[in-house]
Amino acid sequence: PALYVQVDLNGTQNLMDAALAAGTVQNFVFASTSSVYGNTQVVPFVESDPCDRVLQPYAAAKRAAEILGHAYHHLFGLNFTVVRFFTVYGPSGRPDMMAYLLADSVTKGIQIPLYEGGEMYRDWTYVDDTTDGVVAALDRPLGYEIINLGRGEPTLLRDFVTMIETLAGKKANLIHKPKPAADFVLNQADISKARRLLDYNPQVSVAEGVKRFWEWYVAAEGIG
Q: Is residue 202 packed enough to be buried (19+ CB in 10 Å), middle (13-18) or exposed (0-12)?
A: buried
Using CA atoms, how far apart are residues 1 and 3, in angstroms rounded to an integer? 5
Determine what percent of the chain is predicted with pLDDT higher than 90.
Answer: 97
CA 218 centroid distance within chain: 23
- Catalytically annotated residue among 4, 37, 58, 200: 58
Give the Å distances, CA to CA, from 171 to 48, 59, 95, 105, 110. Answer: 41, 32, 19, 8, 11
Domains recognised in the chain with CATH numbers: 2-221 (3.40.50.720)
Using CA atoms, how far apart are residues 207 and 133, in angstroms rounded to an integer? 20
Reported as a pLDDT band with limits 50, 70 and 90, residue 40 is confident
Q: What is the pTM of this model?
A: 0.96
For residue 205, the tally of other CB atoms under 10 A from its CB is 14
pLDDT tens digits, one per residue of 165-179: 999 999 999 999 999
Using CA atoms, how far apart are residues 217 and 224, in angstroms rounded to an integer? 11
58 part of the active site: yes
Which residue blocks in the chain are alpha helix, DSSP H? 2-4, 11-22, 57-76, 98-108, 127-138, 157-168, 192-198, 206-221
Closest of 139, 119, 141 to residue 186, by C-alpha: 119
Determine what percent of the chain is predicted with pLDDT higher than 70.
Answer: 100
